[in-house]
Amino acid sequence: MPPKIAKLAALGAFAACVGLALLWALLLYVARPTVRGGIDATNAVVSWISLSGMFLALIGAHIVLARRLLELGTGTPGRP
């Protein structure tokens, strides 16, 4: 992969991390208990924990991928 493309792909992976974090925050906001009804506090906490685990895994995978792409783009030696 050419270094310019690798750097661009790494920036795209970091941008995807930001997008995933914003989506995570929106879903946590939507799944909160309200006075007018909707989800109760127990189910809200369960959904927050499950959403947080899934989004942390996705964001972590994107960060690892982006760091490897940046190493490829700059030509620095990485781990074997």
- Would residue 67 count as lying in a domain? yes
The structure's pTM equals 0.82
By residue count, the chain amounts to: 80
Go through 41-59 and write b for each residue having 16 or more CB atoms within 10 A of its CB, e for each that does not: eeebeebeeeeeeebeebb
Number of domains in the chain: 1
The confidence band for 58, taking pLDDT boundaries of 50, 70 and 90, is very high
CA distance linking residue 60 with residue 8, whole number of Å: 19
Range of the domain at 33: 3-74
- Would residue 79 count as lying in a domain? no
pLDDT, tens digit (0-9, with 9 covering 90-100), for 4-36: 899 999 999 999 999 999 999 999 999 888 888
- Would residue 17 count as lying in a domain? yes
CA distance linking residue 12 with residue 62, whole number of Å: 9
- Would residue 80 count as lying in a domain? no
- Would residue 45 count as lying in a domain? yes
